[in-house]
């Protein structure tokens, strides 16, 4: 099989690392890729939003399977372009990607299909939105409707902060056209968990649980980010919570999407709040979580290539069960100073080879670039993912931080407490 991975983050490097181990894979390509993926095969400088160009590339290279990493590529219609060319694609159509690309669509869909989520209202008018808050209690949850790279959500503790957020999104267009509409919803108390299911339009297979840390700094303080670290398993997601999530959230969604003519293929990622009365849906994503995916790939024992192909072909019902390593895995994200607001790029990173030499450690590249002489530099917000496995979560964490200690990068920072909630 020739596989093309679309994306350039740590998630895509982890998928590539796993797929490269498959005896079925003859060539692994990526677009645009990163230095980690470049070590696994050819990379092509095509951007993730260039759906038609990516599809043409897949056709030219006679690719047998395209794996979509980021939601942007799915929302740009890459799967639809590939479908017209008859190229199997692991990832949702543009219409199915609406589950992530429009929070208003997602909330209305949940209402139609009885999926448990916070009560909400959609607004395009700031005066009405502020009036609605008048009858409600803080904290207020205000979300830009469209894709905003995980940053379009404000949890406001006061009315004043909420009003400011509404103005920033609707008037000042802080998130561009993603903020033409806003969703205001009730605050859900509880602990968060990330839930992933492999879907082929009809059948869903749950993956093992993982949990990320969204805030930038230790103690879950500071601004929201795409994720500063992750661990698997996640004790908060019990077997009972998993079964409830499948019955009440994933399967009704899969049935509903099919019935509405938007069958969902790919990874359905449910951001959950585990509350006293069971899991509630915070949001859907239509892709693997980053950095959750990195921990999942470290734990997956089965060959990933035939599973993704089966999902792409609507054949998951006949795929063998997934096998997982009983050991724990953790990812520590090393980010550029200034992330998430204004990451400083260009700084030199040393020690990745030494970190990879630490037992049980694998370093995935995210926002890195390599000079012609091989010097590695920061080229994005989240730059490296130091992952480790261990017999216990405590051991995995210790190994990951032993890897981190080998990296010499004054221009970067990472949290020192990844997995603290699970370690008690």
Binding residues for ligand GLY (CB under 6 A): 150, 212, 226-227, 285, 289-290, 292
Query: Which of ligand AMP, ligand GLY, none binds 203 (CB below 5-8 Å, type-dependent)?
Result: none
Sheet holding 153-156, edge to edge: 120-123, 182-185, 140-144, 153-156
Are 38 and 54 a contacting pair, CB within 8 Å? no
Nearest distance from residue 183's CB to ligand AMP, in Å? 9
**Cα–Cα dist 290/271, whole Å:** 12
Does the footprint of ligand AMP cover residue 32 (CB under 6 A)? no
Nearest-angstrom CA–CA distance, 25 and 110: 38
- State which residue, 178 or 397, has the beta carbon closest to ligand AMP: 178
Residue closer to ligand GLY by CB (options 162, 300) is: 300
Nearest to 261 by CA among 93, 108, 79, 147: 93
- The one of ligand AMP, ligand GLY, none whose footprint includes residue 118, by CB under 5 to 8 A per kind, is ligand AMP
Tell which one of 271, 278, 306, 314 touches ligand AMP (CB under 6 A). Answer: 271
Q: What is the DSSP letter of 410?
A: T
The yes or no reply on residue 168 touching ligand AMP (CB under 6 A) is no
Q: How far is CA 188 from the centre of its chain?
A: 21
Nearer to ligand GLY among residue 192 and residue 370 (C-beta):
192
The span from the CA of 91 to the CA of 289, in Å, is 13
The token pair that represents 363 in the structure block: 């370093």
153 part of the interface to ligand AMP, by CB under 6 A:
yes
- Contact call for residue 282 and ligand AMP (CB under 6 A): yes
Residue from 28, 96, 188, 208 binding ligand AMP (CB under 6 A):
188
CB 17 to ligand GLY: min, Å = 18
Is there binding between residue 150 and ligand AMP (CB under 6 A)? yes
Cβ 89 to ligand AMP shortest distance, Å: 25
Residues 197-226 that bind ligand AMP (CB under 6 A): 214, 224
Task: Report whether 110 contacts 282 (CB < 8 A).
Answer: no
The DSSP line for 13-59 is: HHHHHHHTT-TT-SEEEEEE--HHHHTTS-B----TT-HHHHHHHHH
- Whether residue 165 contacts residue 152, with contact meaning beta carbons closer than 8 Å, is answered with no
By the rule CB under 6 A, 118 interacts with ligand AMP: yes
**Secondary structure of the chain: what % helix, strand, coil (to 5)?**
35, 30, 40
CB of 224 to ligand AMP, least distance (A): 6
If the CB atoms of residues 66 and 282 are measured against ligand AMP, the closer one turns out to be 282
Q: Kindly tell me which of 141 and 162 has the beta carbon lying closer to ligand AMP.
A: 141
Q: List contacts with ligand AMP (CB under 6 A).
A: 118, 141, 143, 150, 153, 155, 185, 187-188, 192, 214, 224, 271, 282-283
């Amino acid at each position: 099989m020739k596989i093309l991975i679309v994306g350039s983050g740590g998630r895509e490097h982890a998928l590539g690392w796993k797929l490269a181990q498959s005896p079925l894979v003859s060539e692994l390509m990526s677009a645009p890729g990163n230095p980690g993926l470049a070590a696994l095969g050819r990379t092509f400088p095509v951007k993730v939003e260039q759906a038609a160009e990516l599809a043409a590339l897949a056709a030219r290279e006679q690719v047998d399977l395209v794996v979509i990493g980021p939601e942007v590529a799915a929302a740009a219609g890459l799967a639809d372009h590939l479908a017209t060319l008859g190229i199997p694609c692991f990832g949702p159509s543009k219409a199915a990607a609406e589950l992530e690309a429009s929070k208003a669509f997602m909330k209305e869909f949940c209402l139609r299909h009885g999926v448990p989520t916070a009560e909400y209202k959609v607004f395009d008018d700031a005066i009405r939105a502020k009036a609605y808050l008048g009858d409600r209690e803080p904290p207020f949850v205000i979300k830009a409707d469209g894709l905003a790279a995980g940053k379009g959500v404000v949890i406001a503790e006061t009315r004043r902060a909420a009003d400011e957020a509404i103005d920033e999104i609707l008037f000042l267009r802080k998130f561009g056209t993603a903020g033409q509409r806003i969703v205001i919803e009730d605050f859900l108390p509880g602990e968060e968990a990330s839930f992933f299911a492999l879907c082929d339009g009809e059948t869903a297979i749950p993956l093992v649980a993982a949990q990320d840390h969204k805030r930038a700094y230790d103690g879950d303080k500071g601004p929201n980010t795409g994720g500063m670290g992750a661990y698997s398993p996640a004790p908060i997601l019990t077997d009972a919570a998993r079964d409830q999530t499948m019955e009440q959230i994933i399967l009704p969604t899969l049935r509903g999407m099919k019935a509405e003519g938007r069958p969902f293929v790919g990874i359905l990622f449910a951001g959950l709040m585990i509350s006293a009365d069971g899991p509630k849906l915070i949001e859907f994503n239509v892709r693997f979580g980053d950095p959750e995916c990195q921990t999942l790939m470290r734990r997956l024992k089965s060959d990933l290539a035939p599973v993704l192909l089966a999902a792409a072909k609507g054949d998951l019902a006949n795929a063998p069960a997934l096998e997982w390593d009983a050991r724990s895995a953790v990812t520590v994200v090393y980010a550029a100073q200034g992330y998430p607001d204004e990451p400083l790029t260009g700084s030199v990173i040393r020690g990745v080879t030494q970190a990879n030499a630490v037992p049980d450690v694998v370093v995935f590249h995210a926002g890195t670039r390599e000079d012609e002489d091989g010097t590695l530099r920061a080229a994005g917000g989240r730059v490296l993912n130091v992952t480790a496995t261990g017999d216990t979560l405590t051991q995995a964490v210790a190994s990951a931080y032993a890897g981190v200690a080998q990296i010499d990068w004054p221009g970067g920072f990472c949290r020192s407490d990844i997995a603290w909630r699970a370690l008690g």
